[in-house]
Amino acid sequence: MIKNIFKLKNLYTLIAVLALGYGGYYFGTQNTESSTSNKTLELTTVAIQKGDLAKKEEYNGTLRQTDSKVLNSPMSGVVTFVPKEGTIINFGEILFAVDNKPVILVEGATPFYRTLDLNSDAGPDVLQLEEALVFLGYAAEGFVPDETFDETTSNMLNVLYVDYKIDTKSEITPAEQVAINLKKTEVENIEETISDGGITLTQVNDKKKKLDDAKEAATEESVAWKAADTAIKDAEESLTLYRDETNPKTKEKTANGTLDAAIEDLEQIIEEQKRIKVLEKGKDSGIDATEALAIETAQKAYDDTLESYNEGVDQTAELAKAKEELKDLELASKSETFSPTNAYASKTPIIVGSYLNNVGSAVALNSPLYNISSIGIEVVFQVDATDQETVSLGDSVEIELPTDERVPTLITFIDQVVTQTQAGEFIEVTLEVLNPEEIEAYDQAPVKVFVTTEISENVLYVPVNALLALAEGGYALEVYDGVLDTGTFEGESGVDTSYVAVEIGVFTDGFVEVKGNILEGQIVVVPR
């Protein structure tokens, strides 16, 4: 059944307006009689989508050939080499040298900003360095660059430094040598201790066997002594009974003529067991002082041997640790270090421009050497000085050409000098276009720069012009209650629809984040 939109559940008085510059309608309180018929409209519907939205700041920029940059010296000293003006410096070639320390041009978008060695944290600059070493042919077959500076990285650098005659730390510093010597002495002392008092597990087991043997011997003597003692007591009791004429057993033995023989046997048993007790040196305990001393001596020998062995185990572990520490010290003293002064990163080869300091000139840190241009295209734009934290070297940025086409770029330079104008304070940011050949025709053209400042992940979103502004404030969506395909069709707004209030979040590229009693895939009307 067709419903009039103004009768739907008396939900809200609605105002559909332009949302952030997008079109819509006005809906106010209406007399039902004035809208007795529904108008057929060309409706556009879309599905509520779910995904990531990136909030972007928009700036005005200028597209230009990269021909106005100054190459500064990363060190102080005397200029000993600069290439000829107009020379194209390719990756792997020397840009300049100060105090005969050459600087190599390598491919990369991230400026080298820190010293790298075996103690450095992992990072993209390490990956860039290793990729450059691979490109220049200093990696073994199958080597895969990563973000970790390790011994392999150091070894590759060593070969490069030799080829380029880069003077690196080849001698161990006095402090390093002292640390190495101290650690060597520690290793030697532990080895000597182990050698002098080293106890093997075989020796421990031997002492344990001797202790067990002593205990067993004493036990055997004790058993023999106790057995003899029991036999004597039993024989003496029987002998007493047999000598008692009133005893029935005595009368029985007398009657059959075996009494004398039984008595004789008992007497022999007593004498024999007494002999055994004498032989076993039996006392009341069954173990005499000699045997007790033997056990005590064997126990002490075992305890001492076991203690020495355990100490040796600890010393062995201590020795292994000391040797590992020595290895690390020696490796660190011999490993190569990469300095930002060793290489200059650029996405393209560089064209040498006019000199600012010639060979023989004394230069300070960051002194200009010569003008350079890249074989490429760049974009410059200005950022308010208070917003400079929103941009960082290496960030991915989009630019919009006059044709509305968007292309990716990378931030390659951020001016640290704040420029004062009537409009306020700002810094200049430079972008390098990744595919310059596609846009060479747009030199000096104005472009829009879009810098991502916030990302909302896994959110629901709709086109901005799907929002309906409520008279009492806030926003709603006109949601189809049934199943309907998206697209443009002839229909009636308000047919089988309801209005759902929503909260809004990030706006970007014509879309807006929405929150409320809505689901991914629901169909909403986009006012026209």
Instruction: Examine the fold and report which residue of 435, 455, 475 is the final residue of a domain before the chain moves on.
Output: 455
Pair (78, 156) in one structural domain = yes
pTM of the model: 0.38
Give domain status of residue 341, yes or no.
Answer: yes
Give, to the nearest 10 degrees, the angle between helix 201-242 and helix 248-256: 80
Q: CATH code at 419? A: 2.40.30.170
Rounded to whole angstroms, how far apart are CA atoms 273 and 118? 82
Cα–Cα distance between 116 and 341 in angstroms, integer?
11
Do 383 and 430 share a structural domain? yes
pLDDT tens-place values along the chain, 528 residues long = 223 332 233 333 333 333 333 333 333 333 333 333 455 666 788 899 999 888 888 888 888 766 567 888 889 999 999 999 888 899 999 999 999 999 999 998 888 989 898 888 999 999 999 999 999 999 988 899 999 999 899 889 988 988 898 876 555 667 777 787 888 888 887 777 666 555 666 666 777 777 777 766 665 556 666 677 777 777 777 777 777 767 776 667 676 667 677 677 767 777 776 666 565 554 444 556 566 677 777 777 777 766 766 666 566 777 788 788 887 777 666 678 898 899 999 878 888 888 888 899 999 988 899 888 776 677 888 888 887 777 877 777 888 888 888 888 877 777 777 888 777 888 888 777 766 666 666 667 788 888 887 788 899 999 998 999 888 889 999 888 765 556 565 556 666 788 899 999 888 878 999 999 999 988 888 876
Residues 128 and 144 in one domain: yes
* Domain count within the chain: 3
Cβ contact 101:167 at 8 Å = yes
Domain boundary among 411, 437, 455: 455
Distance of CA 327 to the CA centre of its chain: 25
User: Is position 40 within any domain?
Assistant: yes
In a domain? residue 319:
no
The predicted structure's pLDDT at residue 373: 77
Q: What is the domain extent for residue 121?
A: 69-168+336-363
Q: Which H or E element spans position 264?
A: helix 259-279
Query: Do 61 and 75 reside in the same domain of the chain?
Result: no
Per-residue tokens: 107: 């491919």
Nearest-angstrom CA–CA distance, 353 and 71:
10
Three-state SS string across 330-361, please? HHHHHCCCECCCCEEEECCCEEEEEECCCCCC
Residues 74, 145 within the same domain: yes
Q: Is residue 444 part of a domain?
A: yes
Q: Are residues 447 and 476 in the same domain?
A: no
Strand 101-107 versus strand 343-346 pairing type = parallel
